[in-house]
Amino acid sequence: SQELEQSPQSLIVQEGKNLTINCTSSKTLYGLYWYKQKYGEGLIFLMMLQKGGEEKSHEKITAKLDEKKQQSSLHITASQPSHAGIYLCGADRWNTDKLIFGTGTRLQVFP
């Protein structure tokens, strides 16, 4: 089984709608990372969360890490076509920079 579970696997939303992607681990995380990947391209770093209850925002994207540091959510407000892509969560469980990744959530935004 995957160590990091992402849900949903895919998401299709209309432009302007809000959406949430979840990332869940069965074990406590030292760090949780969110990346975005467009088809045929590498991963683009979005945010890193380390403290329980931490929340970070960048433009219209907000990420939270729960108090137990086992679940994170990524929330996009007023989605745009430019938000389309695959969102990957990565976790650092052993306080090293060895990341394990979830399977990703494919987001499509239509006008």
Partner 1 sequence: EAGVAQSPRYKIIEKRQSVAFWCNPISGHATLYWYQQILGQGPKLLIQFQNNGVVDDSQLPKDRFSAERLKGVDSTLKIQPAKLEDSAVYLCASSLGQGAVYEQYFGPGTRLTVT
Please report, as ranges, the residues that interact with partner 1 according to CB under 8 A: 4, 30-31, 35, 40-45, 48, 50, 88, 90, 92, 95-104
- Taking the least distance from each CB to partner 1, the nearer of 40 and 111 is 40
Minimum gap (Å) between residue 36 Cβ and partner 1: 11
Residue 20: what are its φ and ψ, rounded to 5°?
-135, 135
Reading phi first (left if > 0) and then psi (alpha if -120 to 50, else beta), residue 59 is in left
Minimum gap (Å) between residue 89 Cβ and partner 1: 8
- Taking the least distance from each CB to partner 1, the nearer of 13 and 43 is 43
Reading phi first (left if > 0) and then psi (alpha if -120 to 50, else beta), residue 58 is in beta
Cα–chain center distance at 20: 9
- Taking the least distance from each CB to partner 1, the nearer of 10 and 82 is 10
Minimum gap (Å) between residue 103 Cβ and partner 1: 5
Report the distance separating Cα 11 and Cα 21, nearest Å: 9
